[in-house]
Amino acid sequence: MRPTLHSQLAAVVTRKPVTAAPETSLREAVQTMAEEHVGSIVILEPESGRPLGIFTLRDLLYRVAAKDLDLDRMIMSVMSDSGLLMLNWRGTVYQAALMMARHGVHHVMVVDAADKLVGVVSQEDIYEMQSGGAKAISGAIRSSRDIDGLIAAAEDIHRLALRLISEGTGAEQLTQLISSLNDHLTVRIIELTRSEFDLPKVDWCWLSFGSEGRFEQTLSTDQDNGLMFAAGREATEAVRAAFLPFAQAVNRRLADCGFPLCKGNIMAGNPELCLSTDEWQDRFLDWMQSGNAQSLLNATIYFDFRQFYGAEYLADELRKWLLGQIAGASLFQRFMAATAIQTEPPIGLFRDFVFDKSDEFPHTVDLKASGSRLFVDAARVLALAAGVGETGTVERLRALAERGRLGRDDIGAVIDGFFFIQQLRLRLQQSATPAAMVNRIDPDSLNELDRLILKEAFRQAKKLQVRLHTDYRL
């Protein structure tokens, strides 16, 4: 099976890393790189096998050749260590790609539980997994120095996605690709905008929610984001006031690049979503204790948050705290489960399609509100209750199966059902006119096989809802 962006790094480390000891001469290290046909060599601590630094062809050019250094000096004197990034081999390719984008480096060290080097993943390795065109777009994003260059890159992402849809690219691969490129684009927007502001000297991070937080972006996606910062309660208002102009500028530039401003104002530039770590905890507690169905329904996308840029530990600590709170909140779990089953899949007792009462679009079903969202909502409840930290719907379902919370034999069909609906949504978004039809489909427009598969996909969503009925006695 070909690795995807959500594959573990262990699946893409295919060769033994090329390494050197700290006292190895520069001449010997370069000869080894030439013999092994690699562009980098990792310097290891001899006893532990832990990476100490990396030496690349770029270092050879700028640190050695440009300064006319002696090739007999030790490699440790010219290696790069400040940008040395490491991920556990259980981490995902996507995490490695985003880490490289955030830090502006081209390699990530893959290590085991003892921090011993297992392999190296480069940007080139990741590009090989992406469809044609992604490499050029990623390079254009990295080299952009202004918003005009990023607007052009955003248009290229959209054109690439349309082409891949027309070529029949699968929904999983396509949504991962769109999310990956959009992440790179957003990170670059934040970087460029950050350089224009004198931000507070505190740890902070940009958060994404909803489909962006779940790695499930399609062609029709607005902004859902927030900002979290570390500050004592006495300094919170001043720090927030300093961050808001920056956050609002990022929101405007994202809109310029094709991510519409959120109509519900779920954006970091909203003071209600530019919060300290304590305030975010208070906000989640308010949602969990509200007892109001509509309030909880509006808040569900926040439970899909992920850190996007900045101090990763802030989001990790918030997630750990949140999962601990949910574990003992049985009433909240039940309330969330009840909210997740409010919408029935649009199939009747005899498996015919059931249409809503839309006067504007009669004889259609909503593939988002009555389709993919059912999988998303059910997976969220089951995952949060089980202490699963993943945010993506499919990753949540797979993690639940790994823990024995869902049957391994059944989970494949559930995931296939979810991706089939996502595939139909992408096809609609490619050509839908008017725009309101981007998620609506007339089943009669499908061939007989696709109609049967769509009915089965809705049945798989119903299976998840039945599980919630059973678990929470609803």
**What average pLDDT does this structure show over 43-58?**
89
Lowest model confidence (mean pLDDT) among 82-91, 249-258, 337-346, 372-381: 82-91
The larger pLDDT score, comparing residue 171 to residue 332, is at 332
Over residues 383-395, the pLDDT tens digits come to: 999 999 889 899 8
Do residues 297 and 249 share a domain?
yes
Distance CA 444, CA 442 (A): 5
Over residues 310-344, the pLDDT tens digits come to: 888 899 999 999 999 999 899 999 999 999 999 99
pLDDT at 67 (0 to 100): 81
Measure Cα distances from 272 to 268, 309, 395 in Å.
8, 19, 29
Last residue of a domain, one of 323, 344, 372: 323
Do residues 356 and 398 share a domain?
yes
Q: 328 in a domain, yes or no?
A: no
Do residues 140 and 284 share a domain?
yes
Do residues 310 and 459 share a domain?
no
Closest C-alpha among 170, 181, 166 to residue 2: 170
Q: 172 in a domain, yes or no?
A: yes
Last residue of a domain, one of 299, 323, 347: 323
Do residues 148 and 293 share a domain?
yes
Domain that includes residue 339, residue range: 335-472
Q: What is the CATH number of the domain that holds 432?
A: 1.20.120
> Parallel, antiparallel, or unpaired for β 204-208 and 40-44?
unpaired
pLDDT at 251 (0 to 100): 97
Do residues 355 and 407 share a domain?
yes
**What average pLDDT does this structure show over 427-444?**
78
Q: 329 in a domain, yes or no?
A: no
Reading phi first (left if > 0) and then psi (alpha if -120 to 50, else beta), residue 43 is in: beta
Query: Taking 70 as the threshold, does the pLDDT of residue 11 lie above it?
Result: yes
Do residues 121 and 166 share a domain?
no
Over residues 206-243, the pLDDT tens digits come to: 999 998 889 888 876 789 999 999 999 999 999 999 99
Distance CA 84, CA 80 (A): 7
Count of domains for the chain: 3
pLDDT at 424 (0 to 100): 92
Helix or strand (DSSP H, E) at 55: strand 51-56
Q: 3 in a domain, yes or no?
A: no
pLDDT at 102 (0 to 100): 63
Query: Taking 70 as the threshold, does the pLDDT of residue 132 lie above it?
Result: no
Q: 270 in a domain, yes or no?
A: yes
Do residues 463 and 355 share a domain?
yes
pLDDT at 457 (0 to 100): 96
Last residue of a domain, one of 293, 323, 353: 323
Q: 189 in a domain, yes or no?
A: yes
Do residues 273 and 316 share a domain?
yes
Over residues 174-189, the pLDDT tens digits come to: 887 888 888 889 999 9
> In a 3-state reduction of DSSP, which class is residue 343?
coil
Q: 170 in a domain, yes or no?
A: yes
Pair 199, 231: CB distance under 8 Å = no
pLDDT at 179 (0 to 100): 83
pLDDT at 318 (0 to 100): 96
Distance CA 162, CA 55 (A): 39
Confidence of residue 65 (pLDDT cuts 50, 70, 90): confident
The model's pTM is 0.78
Q: At what angle do helices 393-402 and 373-385 cross, to 10 degrees?
A: 40
Q: What is the CATH number of the domain that holds 83?
A: 3.10.580.10
Give percent above pLDDT 70 in the chain: 94
**What residue type is assigned to position 159 of the chain?**
R
Do residues 251 and 266 share a domain?
yes
DSSP label at 301?
A: G
pLDDT at 294 (0 to 100): 76
Look over the chain and give the mean of its residue pLDDT values, rounded to a whole number: 88
Do residues 242 and 367 share a domain?
no
Do residues 124 and 134 share a domain?
no
Pair 29, 55: CB distance under 8 Å = yes
Residues with Cβ within 8 Å of 292's Cβ and at least 6 positions away in sequence, in order, are: none
Instruction: Tell me how crowded residue 46 is: count the other CB atoms within 10 A of its CB.
Output: 10
Q: 2 in a domain, yes or no?
A: no
